[in-house]
A and B are shown apart, each in its own frame.
Chain A
């Protein structure tokens, strides 16, 4: 694109060229998707269904999650797990980040001990431990997911607090000595972009890790469905669940998180 701009063409020509280039990119991108799905259609009849079920079969199972009560129940259970875990993790992560920042003595404990442990401990380890300690309950799922999500949220808010605009902080101090007012009117708004970034990352991670947590720790939810289907060689159901997760994560990010984050950056950014 820069090459076009540098070649000294009239801006209108440049625009037209750019548009043409964009059209070609879109054509390739969508063409590839169509070609892949086409190949899938063509190949699947010649392969056993448990290895590669046909796209129509997967789509049929995909729709089952909204048309039949049992499957819908599993979907809503996972929804409940994801949003519950997000709320719990956000509270814990925020509490840890605030403590590490405002209660200096706890900083090394949180930043240098608790965070690295949570961050490097395998999610599956938490899931297995959760089942042992809590049985197959919602509590087990929440626990395992929170252990995975808290470090993401903590580190984002922590970085936010550490990089707070010092000039704005001093401006606040010149107007008031009330720490509470400064926190509400200056610190909190400055943190909003970081909190939202944390939420955006965690949303994707939460949907992906919920399968793992439910696989071990629940007798309902999408993870449970996947485990059942795995044992019954129902690959089409597994693919349908994966498709649900991709659709939710992708659509949630593109339709909500991305535009919202851009708006927030514009509003709160400098």
Chain B
């Protein structure tokens, strides 16, 4: 396969793929545009309307506040979930008696709990607040982080510990030169997964539990049948997700977890 990519035929095939991909996207947008012209905006707003609404989300202060709020909550939730997941994974690892409590009771429970359930319960328990949103997001991200990080800790097995000890008795050196590099790919994977899940989740968490944020904007837009804004919030989420992944997570992964694929 490496051969075909460098050869002339390979380049031609790559070009055709590119044409079909970009052409397909263009065609979809054109189709959307032409269909939207025959329909009222509350059924299918055109691409231009959505683009205008999207621009407002990133420029008009009253709307932009919501975009920023959601972004900050996502970042905070991911950080908290990573710390919490690591703490739980470490406890499960170092206190054998608690291993099953965490990995066989808590983790499956959190994993099978529906997100909308948390969203509703959070409002009942914590009212409409930042805490409510953070609670929902962290509690949903926690099992993802826990699974990845405990898999990472498994990587640091007895043999590795022994090897490290044969060279040095310094815990600090073992930690920084052996354990952390071994754990890093799993940490990055946990970060990547929870970051992606969190953006998709943001709208659900803010649906009932917030009076700011993109989820809140979407609910209000839905009530007023402002579908351009509904779609714009969804697109904004996609864009913010991609931006964060390309600008922060991918470089982090390249730096700490080696080249992917």
Interface residues of A (CB under 8 A from B): 2-3, 6, 21, 24-26, 28-29, 32-33, 50-51, 104-109, 112-114, 116-117, 119-125, 128-129, 132-133, 204, 207-208, 211-212, 215, 223, 226, 230, 235, 238-239, 241-242, 245-246, 249-250, 253
Q: Which residue of A lies closest to B110 (CB)?
A: A246
Task: Give the interface SS of chain A, mostly helix, strand, loop or mixed.
Answer: helix
Residues of B contacting A50 in the complex (Cβ-Cβ under 8 angstroms): 124
Least CB distance, B73 to chain A, in whole angstroms: 14
Give, as a whole number of angstroms, the nearest-CB distance from A249 to chain B.
4
**Contact between chains at A204 and B112 (CB < 8 Å):** yes
Give the docked Cα–Cα distance between A253 and B112 (Å): 10
Kindly state the separation between the CA atoms of A128 and B43 in the bound complex, as whole angstroms: 11
Q: List chain B residues, Cβ under 8 A from A104.
A: 13, 17
* CB of B241 closer than 8 Å to a CB of A: yes
Q: When chains A and B are docked, how far (Å) is the Cα of A226 from the Cα of B119? A: 11
CB-CB < 8 A to A123: which residues of B? 200, 204
Contact of A124 (CB < 8 Å), options: B96, B101, B218, B231: B218
Q: Does B202 contact A (CB under 8 A)?
A: yes
Chain B residues with Cβ below 8 Å from A128 are 218, 222, 230
Closest to B205 in A: A124
Quick check: is B227 within 8 A (CB to CB) of the other chain?
A: yes
**A132→B43 contact, CB < 8 A:** yes
B13:A105 contact, CB within 8 angstroms: yes
By secondary structure, the B interface counts as helix
CA gap between A50 and B121 in the complex, in Å:
10
Which residue of the partner chain A has the closest CB to B241?
A120
Whether A226 pairs with B116 at a CB distance below 8 angstroms is yes
Tell me if B32 is interfacial: C-beta within 8 Å of chain A. no
Q: How far is the CA of A124 from the CA of B227 in the complex (A)?
A: 14
11 new A-B pairs (CB below 8 Å) besides A128-B218, A132-B43? A25-B101, A107-B17, A119-B196, A121-B237, A125-B233, A125-B234, A132-B42, A204-B111, A212-B114, A249-B112, A250-B108
B105 touches A33 (CB 8 A): yes
**B residues bordering A, Cβ < 8 Å?**
13, 16-18, 20-21, 24-25, 42-44, 96-101, 104-105, 108-109, 111-117, 120-121, 124-125, 157-158, 196, 199-204, 207-208, 215, 218, 222, 227, 230-231, 233-234, 237-238, 241-242
Q: How far is the CB of A106 from chain B (nearest CB, A)?
A: 6
- Do A125 and B104 touch across chains, with their CB atoms under 8 A apart? no
> Is B96 within 8 A of A133, CB to CB?
no
Which of chain B's residues have a CB closer than 8 A to the CB of A238? Answer: 117, 120-121
| Docked-complex contact A211 and B227, CB < 8 angstroms | no
By a CB distance below 8 angstroms, the chain B residues around A25 are: 96-97, 99-101
Give the distance in Å from the alpha carbon of A239 to the alpha carbon of B70 in the complex.
27
Shortest distance between the CB of B231 and any CB in chain A (Å) = 7
Ranked 4 nearest A-B pairs via Cβ: A125-B234, A29-B100, A249-B112, A108-B21
How many angstroms from the CA of A116 to the CA of B155 in the assembled complex? Answer: 30
Q: List 13 A-B contacts (CB under 8 A).
A: A2-B157, A6-B158, A24-B96, A29-B100, A120-B242, A122-B199, A122-B200, A132-B42, A132-B43, A133-B43, A208-B115, A235-B124, A241-B117
Nearest CB in chain A to that of B118: its residue:
A242
CA A125 – CA B221 in complex, angstroms? 12
